[in-house]
Structure 1
């Protein structure tokens, strides 16, 4: 699996906590896009796609969720339940976010601008793509 679960250094004092995320330091790429998911519905997953070239870094800044990553040969589920914990998702990795807590805010940082043609939304197409690259 080409992923990295990373715990960030928490800075702070009696006034509160702070986590700094910098491109090419804690985030392993130049950040071109940031979006966040919130107000999710119980039992309804998000994601269920892969990208041809986009790499992403996911952080649950509030609440928790699970992320299942799949490289076509193995699947692994990660729990994002602390704001100082992030998950790297490489290109050509199928990702599904699920089991959101009611208060979850999942922030995603991406190395590419939005491009609809970069999405692989059919799982069989994804499997063909990754199995042909092997």
Structure 2
């Protein structure tokens, strides 16, 4: 398997595993997350398409390191997996950092400046 393809698969699997068995933020079940991914894709396609266009590329790929499948506008398909893993990992870590105090408060431990039901309120907001 080409190197960029293999690393993309590893990145996607690692992020999924981190969420499902480590951080457990629940983002994969939220509409907000999937809408965010559509927005990211909406910007990724034109920008990545411009950068990787075969007619006049700004970013070059070694053809031996990818599957050679480019869609749309000459975008290597590996870019979509890599981009998804990068953005999703950022969201996961952000959620982990910002939800930490709320979860502690919900567990009954006092957090200065937070009401004791902050974790439940944050969870209800994400479910919308």
TM-score interval for Structure 1 and Structure 2 normalised by the shorter chain = under 0.3
Q: TM-score, normalised by structure 2?
A: 0.21
Task: Determine which structure has greater relative contact order: mean sequence separation of CA pairs < 8 Å that are 6+ residues apart, divided by chain length.
Answer: 1
TM-score by length of 1: 0.20
- Structure index of larger Rg: 2
Structure (1 or 2) with the greater helix fraction: 2
Q: 1 or 2, which has the higher strand percentage?
A: 1
